[in-house]
Amino acid sequence: MRKTLFVLIIALFLVLAGCQQTDNTVSDTDTTAPPIVIVTETQEVVTGTEQTSSTEEPKKTESNTSYEKTDIASDSAESKPVITETKPPSTTKPKPETTTETTNPPITESTESTPEPPETVPPPVARPSGSEVAAKVAVYINQYRGSSATVLPGLGGVALYRANELVSNFAHTDGIDACNALQYGELVDMTLYGMSESDSYYQGYNREAIAKGNWGGTADEIAQRIATGFKNSASHWKYLGSSEYSYMAVGCVYDEATCMWYCCICVSTKNYGG
């Protein structure tokens, strides 16, 4: 009797164990377990029993398919339930490949004609000083002469004084006024001849040649024009080119009001005052 009761208990235990195994196994028709959802990149993942927003039936792909991790039942009569894990699909959308094309700007030919460069006008030559012109006039006069005349610095002051007088009075004088004003040369005492002292005067040179002109250019160019003009004048060159007058001085000035050059050349037979 005891054996029969023990066998019944064992049988009952096995029946109960079989029922427990049936309850723990997840069937394909179980509606309480979350469904396996396979989505594409454009579908939206939902949980529970909600449907995806897309009306298109989901397509199974190998990369997004759920996988089951099942423990193999042991030799004992009790088996472990199947554990199903659902791997959500990646929601990161691949970035579209962008290609940057480098295009060169179109080459357009200009129909405009190339402007011609403006004509370059040489800057005006600075007007030389009167002393520069006078020095070069003396050089050219001596080149034209057969024998060079000695240039006297003291007499040069008289020639410059006369050149300034020519601006307001272009005419010859006897040469006494300039020498008296500068007290240059030898004093001629007229009291020795029974005359008053006021009649005495200074003798500084013997002859003079005067010229004026609207000359432009460098000091050398202006001087060459003046000397050539005297050389080509027979009445002036008669004494300017004579070896009798072995001393010389030149004075030149430029007048802004008349835009003219004025020149005076003094020559003498001897050195009256250096």
Q: Residue 20: enclosing H or E segment and its boundaries?
A: helix 2-24
Q: What is the pLDDT of residue 259?
A: 95
Q: Which residues contact 77 (CB under 8 A, 6 or more apart)?
A: 14, 17, 21
Q: What is the pLDDT of residue 85?
A: 44
Segment-wise mean pLDDT, segments of 10 residues, the chain, 274 residues: 72 64 44 41 41 45 41 40 46 56 57 71 84 98 96 97 96 85 95 93 96 96 98 97 97 96 97 92
Longest dimension (CA), the chain: 204
- Statement: 130-173+205-268 belongs to CATH 3.40.33.10: yes
Displacement of CA 44 from its chain's centroid (Å): 64
Q: Label residue 193 left, alpha or beta by phi (over 0 means left) and psi (-120 to 50 means alpha).
A: alpha
CA atoms of 253 and 133, how far apart (whole Å) = 9
How many beta carbons lie within 10 A of that of residue 215, not counting itself?
A: 18
What are the extents of the domains in the chain?
A: 130-173+205-268
pTM of the model: 0.56
Q: What is the pLDDT of residue 102?
A: 55
CA atoms of 19 and 87, how far apart (whole Å) = 31
